[in-house]
Amino acid sequence: MATIMASAADRKASERKFYSRYALFLVFIVLLGFGPSFYLRGIVPAYPRPNPTLPPFVILHGTVFTLWMALIVTQTQLISARKHELHMQLGKLGMLFAIAMIPVMYLAAVWEVARANQAPFTDPLTWTIVPLATIIPFGALVWNGWKNRRDIQTHKRLMLSAAILVVMGPAIGRLPIAPPSTLGFTIQMLAGFLLFVPLILWDRRTLGHLHPSTRFGIGMAVLWVIFPLAVFWLHLPWAKVAAHLPGVGA
């Protein structure tokens, strides 16, 4: 009996370490991607991509998502420290914060048109599909994570997937790992799925199969990737739609 209890305790300890380190790893990717253009702008050399000035709305957007990543790290550290009650209380504020992020995501996307911060292979209006396509999958992951907050294994994976989603495109997309072309963009979008690999391996190791919420998280990421790639490769007239979106170019 003692051996079984020790084994269960060891599994929980390993799980706490896994998620807390995973969150820190995602923060590292964010710093790697946004360091030259945001966090360490003017301190380290910029990546070879459009790097215009930082108007207030960009600073607000960057600050909001920095706080989101800080929240993810804090929540995993609270669980690691077994402060479950504080974790649940902070989770309520986190859900309200996630809801507030939705309009920030939208406004940052449409206001970027005037800033012309798009990749060189497209135009500002067409580029809005990239950030806008994130909104529904992100909202779906966060809402389902909140709805399943009593199901610990489901909740953890869904919230982690929401964090991966906002890192895999913006942060990975800023790394100079592919040429600034439609093909290069596709490579970087697909490279973002590598961020799911540790979670996939963890599921295989601990469960023997992918947890349904891991599958859902990957599915939401696929949904996000499909729309921009379809627009760019099939030359869909998204720009005509984007031109009529509220706030475009404001």
> Which is nearest to 239 in space by CA: 120, 125, 141?
125
pLDDT at 249: 65
**Per-residue pLDDT tens over the stretch 90-134:** 888 889 899 889 999 999 999 889 888 888 899 999 999 999 999
C-alpha separations of 217 from 25, 80, 86, 136, 155 in Å: 18, 23, 26, 12, 11
Quickly state the pLDDT bin for 5 (edges 50, 70, 90): very low
Task: Decide if pLDDT at 6 tops 60.
Answer: no
Q: Three-class SS of residue 41?
A: strand
Q: For the chain, what is the mean pLDDT?
A: 90
pLDDT at 199: 97
**Per-residue pLDDT tens over the stretch 36-84:** 888 888 888 877 776 667 888 888 988 999 999 999 999 999 888 888 8
pLDDT at 117: 81
Quickly state the pLDDT bin for 4 (edges 50, 70, 90): very low
Q: Three-class SS of residue 217?
A: helix
Task: Decide if pLDDT at 1 tops 70.
Answer: no
Side chain identity at residue 213, one-letter code: S
- Burial class of residue 149, CB neighbours in 10 A (0-12, 13-18, 19+): middle
**Per-residue pLDDT tens over the stretch 154-195:** 999 999 999 999 999 888 988 888 888 999 999 999 999 999
Number of H-type helices and E-type strands within the chain: 11, 0
| Angle of CA points 142, 98, 154, to nearest 5° | 20
pLDDT > 70: percent of the chain: 94
